[in-house]
Structure 1
Amino acid sequence: MDGVMLPAIGRIVTPDGVVNGTLIVEGDRFEGILEREGDPTGWVLPGFVDVHCHGGGGYSLANGDADSAKGAAGFHASRGTTTLVASLVSSTHEFLLETTRALKPLVEEGTLAGVHFEGPYISAAKCGAHRTDVLRDPDIGELTELIEAGEGAVKMVTIAPELDGAIAAIEFLDQRGVVPAIGHTNASYEQTTAGIDAGAQAATHLFNAMRAFNHREPGPIPALLDDERIFSEIIADPVHLHPGTMRFAFDTSLPAWTLLVSDAMDAAGLADGHYMLGRHEVEVVGGVATVAGTDVIAGSTITLLDAFRNTVRLAGQSVEAASQMASATPAELLGLNDVGTIETGKFADAVVLDDDLNLVSVMRRGAWLQV
């Protein structure tokens, strides 16, 4: 696609503001922006970056199957998520090790941006849809094996800071260049701040699967929201968060420290029915995924495009702010320097929307995808 330009005059969201014009693409990289006169139509955003996703389109990122992971990545790319991290749910060490080895080639080739372990080092009291029989205290020996098996593929690990050995594990991950995230936690405010001081950098789906706020025992939420060392994940759908809670989080944490995540499971983009998340059977009714026979939420059925639109439509954020939270901020969290913004030299990943935020087209690495 050398020399190809986007045909329409669009509102192009850049780190320096909105520019009316057309993107210039050379090969798989952005070459620049041609500013043009005239009335712009629609929006051109940097490709979305999802650092917390379990699957979609009927494909799993968490079952250890590389072909399934490719299918999930393709599905989400067709909805605008051009950079995707595979989030694994709590399991045995052997399974996580085997799955890391299976997904490593996909990270090396660029199909995936990395692997995130959402457990098993989490609180049984706040486990959500994770199996309690495989939960355990953090183990630096296990973490070492996982990181070495990934050879750079392991990007993030969620840990409950109140567990025995959690502080040492957070320090270890930080030293190894892996993002320690606080989540699925029943920690006190003080235990949470200890985790942050040890090197935690992110909050796994803030508000969800963590001790609720109480004015006398505030727990983890205000500690995470108030600390500029923490990037806060938000699942922007009305199933996980009331729109007022979304707005509160965005206005408090601000786009530079807030990232949208889908937390999508296999059923994203599909009809209601029965699916699997890890080893849990999940029932989807009205687009809401729960562990079968319970009211426990089991991931989501949204894409990051849905989260972006909900952020604008339900939580009153600007398109520019929502774009930053869907692309630039998650890329910064994981140190992904070639994606997340529309800038010369970065990968040509773009999402084209009309004025009503409907998806028009997606470009990944300079190539148009079928949407």
Structure 2
Amino acid sequence: MKTLIKNANIITPYEIKRCSNLAIEDGKIADIFSGEIKDVDSYDEIIDAEGKYLSPGFIDLHNHGNFGHDAMEASYEALESMADFHIKNGITAYLATTMTEHPEKIRAAVKNIGEYIESGSNDSKVKSQVLGIYLEGPYFSMEKKGAQPPEYIKDPDLDEIKELIELSKNNIKVVAIAPELKGAKESIKYLKNEGITISAGHTNATFEEAKTGIDLGITQGTHLYNGMRSYSHREPGVVGAVLTDERVACEMICDGIHLHTGAMDLAVKMKGKEGIILISDAMMATGLQDGKYVLGGQDVYVKEGAARLEDGTLAGSTLTLNKAVYNMVHMVNVPLNDAVRMASLNPAKAIGMDDRKGSIEIGKDADLIIFDEDIKVSKALIKGKIKEIK
């Protein structure tokens, strides 16, 4: 099967190729070229991008749910619904993200996601791909718990971590841990040896404690600034550590609610285009109206798009990654190709899948989206299979 996408402004990690064409063969990117198309008859399908942008599909590493569903439901139906909503917003792949909850609920969710991935779900349907699991909790600091239910927060338990990895069928890609906790060092060492990304999250770590965790294997910071000890000029804390250490990439929720534009601008200046990972941290209210929802067994009230617990604590977001990319361009003045990189190649690198995902480069999976100046997605492709977005 050969497909041609013509008349596109193609966003690569390095530039935007104006008025160019892209060829797909057997689900892979086969060629990128400009000028005259000489072998039109050799293509089975031709798509006219009409001068819009052709971008790698976005990869949302950290999201709990959308459109009334949550990964903690532990059902195929929830994951299918989430995948259908994701693709409409340009997210061609995601990590199903769990939450601090009763241990049995976490086990059930992890087992369900692992089985869903291994089954391949309904491969004939064009929808977002679940690349793995992001384990957010329960190994967190009580002081920086945020919207994580306090009754289930605990120190890292290596035996439990091993059990969850087995239940997931080795599909856990990211584990968030507060590095200052008892048992954290041993857990970080083990996870690193297993090739699993470790993220410093919901942590009250000092600068030195955070640096020790980074030396042991932490390479990511969970939703930067949020759920972290605040920066001080005398104790920079975990924020200072992750911002200044080039070994660490920082997740960022660019919704205009979780972070001030100045804080986002500072992070971009510190980390550069390669060190920021745009995430949604979306919960089940995403794509729905304001109202009362649930996250981690707790009531969440969404008003004007902001999701909060009854006490006012932020509880995830209602953001989508296409909107996050738009906000990075228009709120933080990041060039479009760099903002796209933060939502595609950087997350793919973070979980070691950039050899086949995350950018428009010859030989990679044809996971692509077409969007306009407002990042409104009109078409999505998963390994070359096309879905019209209405």
Offset at residue 216 of structure 1 (A):
1.2
Kept after mapping to 1: 8 A contact 2:71/2:109: no
CA distance in 1, matches of 2:34, 2:16: 11
**Cross-structure match for 2:293:** 275
Q: Is the 8 A contact 2:13 2:337 kept in 1?
A: no
With normalisation by structure 1, the TM-score equals 0.95
How many Å separate the matches in 2 of 1:249 and 1:276?
31
Identify which range, 11-20 or 71-80, moves more after superposition: 11-20
Code of the aligned partner of 2:26: G
Counterpart residue number, 1:352: 370
Show CA shifts across 1:5-49 (max 9, x none).
124x12101134222312211232211123137x98231110001
* Alignment check: 8 A CA contact 1:235 1:262 kept: yes
Match of 1:139 among 157, 171, 190: 157
Say which SS state the counterpart of residue 72 (structure 2) adopts.
coil
Partner of 2:325: 308
- Does 344-353 or 180-189 show the bigger shift? 344-353
Which segment is superposed worse, 18-27 or 151-160? 18-27
The 5-angstrom pairing of residues 111-126 of structure 1 reads 111-126=129-144
2:13–2:338 contact (8 Å) kept in structure 1: no
User: How far apart, CA to CA, are the structure 1 residues paired with 2:58 and 2:111?
Assistant: 26
1:28 aligns with 2:27: yes
The corresponding residue for 2:334 is 317
Q: CA RMSD in A?
A: 1.7
Moved more, 314-323 or 91-100: 91-100
Mapped partners of 2:162, 2:291: distance in 1: 39
Q: Please name the residue that 1:333 is paired with.
A: 350
Q: Which moved more, 1:204-213 or 1:59-68?
A: 59-68
Q: CA deviation at 1:62?
A: 2.4
Give the match's secondary structure for 2:344: helix
Matched residues, number: 368
Q: Secondary structure in 1 aligned to 2:54? A: strand
CA-to-aligned-CA distance 1:328-366 (integer Å, 9 cap, x gap)? 010001011321011222111112122343322222221
Provide the residue aligned with 2:105 in structure 1.
95
- Alignment of structure 1 residues 1-371 onto 2, 5 Å: 2-7=1-6, 9-20=7-18, 21-36=20-35, 41-108=51-118, 109=120, 111-291=129-309, 293-336=310-353, 337-371=355-389
- Alpha-carbon separation, structure 2, partners of 1:30 and 1:204: 32
Cα distance in structure 1, aligned partners of 2:219 and 2:237: 17
One-letter code of the match for 2:76? Answer: A
What is the DSSP-based 3-state SS (H/G/I as helix, E as strand, rest coil) of the residue aligned with 1:207?
A: coil
Counterparts of 1:313 and 1:74, CA distance in 2: 27
- Measured in 2, the distance between the counterparts of 1:183 and 1:67 equals 29
The residue type equivalent to 1:23 in the other structure is: L
Whole-angstrom CA distance in 1 between matches of 2:361 and 2:170:
25
Gaps of 5+ in 2: 37-48, 122-128
3-state SS of the aligned residue for 2:62? strand
- Give, in whole Å, the separation in 2 of the partners of 1:334 and 1:253: 18
Gap regions ≥5 residues in structure 1: none
CA contact (8 A) 2:8 2:53 kept: yes
Could you say what secondary structure the match of 2:218 adopts?
coil
Q: 2: distance between equivalents of 1:45 and 1:304? A: 13
1:188-239 CA-to-partner distances (Å, cap 9, x unmatched) read 1111111111111100001011111111121110100111111110111111
- For 2:130, what is the secondary structure of its paired residue? coil
Which deviates the most, 336-345 or 130-139? 336-345
Whole-angstrom distance in 2 between the partners of 1:247 and 1:83: 26
Does the Cα contact within 8 Å between 2:92 and 2:367 map onto a contact in 1?
yes
SS in 2 for 1:167: helix
Partner Cα distance (2:340, 2:148) in 1: 30
Q: Identity of counterpart residues, as a percentage?
A: 35
Which letter does structure 1 place at the counterpart of 2:179?
A: P
Q: Tell me the TM-score normalised to structure 2 length.
A: 0.91
Contact 1:236 1:311 in 2 (8 A): yes
CA-CA distance at 1:77 after TM superposition: 1.4
Is contact 1:11-1:40 (8 Å) kept? no
Q: CA–CA distance in 1 between the matches of 2:138 and 2:76?
A: 21
